[in-house]
Amino acid sequence: MSNAAGYGEGTGAEVSLTSNASVSGGAMGRAGRTVRSLVPARMDRLPWTRFHWLVIIGLGVSWILDGLEIQIASSVGTVLQDKGTLHISSVDVGALGSVYLLGEVVGALVFGRITDMIGRKRMFVAHCSTRSAGAIGAGIMIAGGLIAWFFGVNSERQSLEDISTPLSAASQSHARISPGAAT
C-alpha cells in the first residue's frame, strides 16, 4: 500500500539513477544504481503542528504586504506625472518602477548573504539600530520644523540670502538704537 505521495509505507522509497545525478540531500549515484531511503515516507507521517501554521501564516502575510507595497509604489507613478507634483514622463515612471523592483531583488540577495555571513541576531540588531537612528533623525527634523514655525521663520521658496537679509537688518537697527553703540 502506498501513501498519497506514492511512497511505500514502511518499505522506503526507491530512486533509480540513470546518470550521475544527485538525489535530494546531495547523495551521488552511478548510472543504473538504486538508492533506498526511508526519509520521504517518514516525512509524510510527521504531524502538522502549530509551527507549520505559523510559518504558513507568516509567509502569507509577507506575500500580501509585498503585493500591497508594490501596488502603492505603482499607483504613486500616476501622481508623479501631474503638473502639480514632479511632472515626470511615463518613461521616467516606468524606469522608477523598474529600479524599485531591481532594488528589492538585489537587496534581498545582498542582505540575505550578509545575514548568512554575520548571523541573524547581529543583522537584526543592525536593522533595529538603523531604523531607530532614522526615527530619531525624523523626529529631529520635525522638531526643527516646529521650532522654525513657532519663531516665524518662513523659508519656503526663499534663498539663503533672502532669509538672512531681514536678520541682518534687524541686527543693524538694534545696533543704532542701543545706547552704547558707536555711530
- Summarised one tens digit per residue, pLDDT across range 25-55 is 444 555 567 888 888 888 888 899 999 999 9
Q: Within a 10 A sphere around the Cβ of 7, how many other Cβ atoms?
A: 21
Q: Based on the fold, state whether residues 101 and 56 are members of the same structural domain.
A: yes
Q: Helices (DSSP H) in the chain: which residue ranges? A: 39-44, 50-80, 90-118, 120-150, 160-177
Instruction: Provide the pLDDT for residue 56.
Output: 95
Q: Based on the fold, state whether residues 106 and 78 are members of the same structural domain.
A: yes
Residue 26: strand pairing partners? none
Q: Based on the fold, state whether residues 82 and 112 are members of the same structural domain.
A: yes
d(CA 123, CA 91): 36
pLDDT band at 135 (very low <50, low <70, confident <90, very high): very high
Between these two residues, 32 and 113, which has the higher pLDDT value?
113
Whole-model pTM: value is 0.44
Is 101 part of a structural domain of the chain?
yes
For residue 92, the enclosing domain spans 50-116
List Cβ neighbours of 163 (8 Å cut-off, separation of 6 or more): 153, 155
Q: Which of 99, 116, 133 is the last residue of a domain?
A: 116
Total structural domains within the chain: 2
Is 157 part of a structural domain of the chain?
yes
Angle, in degrees to the nearest 10, between helices 50-80 and 90-118? 150
List Cβ neighbours of 90 (8 Å cut-off, separation of 6 or more): 81
